[in-house]
A and B are shown apart, each in its own frame.
Chain A
């Protein structure tokens, strides 16, 4: 569970972590737009491979990447199956399941693969961004794009207390396990329900204590933030370069191949 949220890699020193988070955010946004509007799977697939390659170069453990991609892969699998069997007219093959006859169609499969690669492409961009930038720096960068201060404040507090609550929930779950709380399905359900309830109660108590601590240091309803540093010439140049590359790749793969 901890590995799923772990951000230790974002604190490593490498070429990506050194880039200003505002540049990374803008480039990621442009890449996601390109991926989700792509009319054929080649561009999203290319982005997916590129992101995974970069992640491999950064020496991020494969287990962590697999863990983080498990949910999107499941979504993509479901998406492809559903699209294949409900969309299109050209039959590919037929299956009989429990008295139901299902026909896979070529157009559906193509549509499913396109949607699937879009999902994987976009998710891999977010994954790479999350591996190369600490979450708090992303939130701070959002201030530069005039995102509401309240939203940024809530995001920072959520990010901070996810780890506290995860630790607490982990301790509670271990205590339940040590007293055989998960040895049978019904008992496991009861234990899990109690764990979820206790975590909610802990969250409320934690929120109260944190609010008291904030008040004692002058909190008046808005978290104060330091000034954002100016975007240097190197970062500006990098931003222009990367946006140009994305635009060129989009033009080439979407219009250039047929042209």
Chain B
């Protein structure tokens, strides 16, 4: 069954801005899908439609096989959860524990179940030690993880994240992406991620949707998406840095690179094939001055 099925959905804001123009968007259960687009491409509008914060002017949206309009709020928010870009929008309780308990208590669960969900969701984002802390004493990275825990406590089948790595340092970014990968691969949670950050996507996303001015320009696996240079430029995006380096070496220096590596691992493998074995020194651990 499809976790998310969007058919011919359009949305125009009251000021006349056409944010989405008849887009189709499907996500299978257990998939990790990225929605890639520049600012104003319609990513945020799409995810707000998926969680019912906006209502489509035309078209059909189904979550877990049921039309979004036929679901009660209680049903909808146990099927789909949204993690906002700015954790301050979402962390409204005074402490981490209170915030994580907010959703389960709204579901009228018995208090022991509420506490169990709080513990499990905090453990899932490696934030159990933050349980008693005040929200305003947390670092930005901790706030991001706690806001994810608050949504996980609702146990949604589909997790949607709006720019989850925005504002995080490289270590925080990697930690967040690893968390999402774990939720997707181990917990079989469907993950939809709206972003304009391309470097990590080939490592995590099964499929990528590229949006531009409210339309889907292309969708498919990373290797298909990033081989369409013109489309990437048209969508005001760029290749992952490692791919760009390999592309430039191939195009300007004539280095015989096969295809376009998207990750450091792929690029390394290709370069190692090109470098004569006698030139490779074993055991160099650090780059010297």
- Majority-rule SS of A interface residues: helix
In the complex, A54 has a CB within 8 A of chain B: no
A219–B135 Cα distance when bound, in Å, is: 19
Looking at the complex, which one of A159, A218, A219 makes contact with B94 (CB distance below 8 Å)? A159
Instruction: Give chain A nearest CB distance to B68 CB in angstroms.
Output: 13
In the complex, which range does the number of interface residues on chain B fall in? 20 to 34
A210 near B89: Cβ-Cβ < 8 Å: yes
Q: Quick check: B135 and A160 within 8 Å, CB to CB? A: yes
Given known A8-B137, A136-B134, A213-B84, contact A218–B77 (CB-CB < 8 A):
yes
B32 to chain A, nearest CB (A): 21
Question: How many Å from the CB of A114 to the closest CB on chain B?
Answer: 38
Contact A160 B94 (CB under 8 A): yes
B234 CB to closest chain A CB (Å) equals 31
**Bound Cα distance A220, B98 (Å):** 17
- Does B150 belong to the interface (CB within 8 Å)? yes
The tally of residues in A whose CB lies under 8 Å from a CB in B reads 31
Closest to B132 in A: A11
Closest chain B residue to A137, Cβ basis: B94
With both chains docked as a complex, state the minimum distance between the C-beta of A137 and any C-beta of chain B, in angstroms. Answer: 8
Q: Which residues on B sit within 8 Å (CB–CB) of A209?
A: 84, 86, 89
Contact A11 B134 (CB under 8 A): yes
A218 B106 Cβ-Cβ under 8 A: yes
Is A215 interfacial (CB 8 A cutoff)? yes
A224 within 8 A of B: yes
Q: Is the CB of A216 within 8 A of B106?
A: no
- With beta carbons under 8 angstroms apart, the residue of A135, A224, A227 that contacts B106 is A224
A3 contacts the other chain (CB 8 A):
no
Residue in A136, A212, A217, A224 with the greatest tally of chain B CB atoms within 10 Å: A217
Given contacts A157-B92, A216-B81, contact A226 B101 (CB under 8 A): yes
Query: Could you tell me which residues of chain B, from 58 to 85, have a CB within 8 Å of some CB in chain A?
Result: 73-74, 77, 81-82, 84
Residues on A with C-beta less than 8 A from B86 are 209
Q: Is B264 part of the contact surface with A, judged by Cβ < 8 Å?
A: no
Contacts of B84 in A (CB 8 A): 209, 213
Q: A159-B94, A209-B84, A224-B102 are in contact. Are A216 and B53 (CB under 8 A)?
A: yes
Interface centre among B51, B89, B107 (most CB of A within 10 A): B89
Q: Find A212's partner among B53, B150, B154 (CB 8 Å cutoff).
A: B53
- In angstroms, Cα B287 to Cα A163, docked, is 44
Chain A residues in 8 Å Cβ range of B154: 217-218
- Tell me whether B92 and A213 are in contact (CB under 8 A): yes
Please report A residues at the B interface, Cβ cutoff 8 Å: 7-8, 11, 134-136, 139, 156-157, 159-161, 163-164, 206, 209-210, 212-220, 223-227
Q: What are 28 contact pairs spanning A and B, CB under 8 A?
A: A11-B137, A136-B93, A136-B134, A160-B91, A160-B92, A160-B93, A164-B88, A206-B89, A209-B86, A209-B89, A210-B89, A213-B89, A215-B73, A216-B51, A216-B82, A217-B102, A217-B106, A217-B150, A217-B151, A218-B74, A218-B77, A218-B103, A220-B106, A224-B101, A225-B105, A226-B105, A226-B114, A227-B111
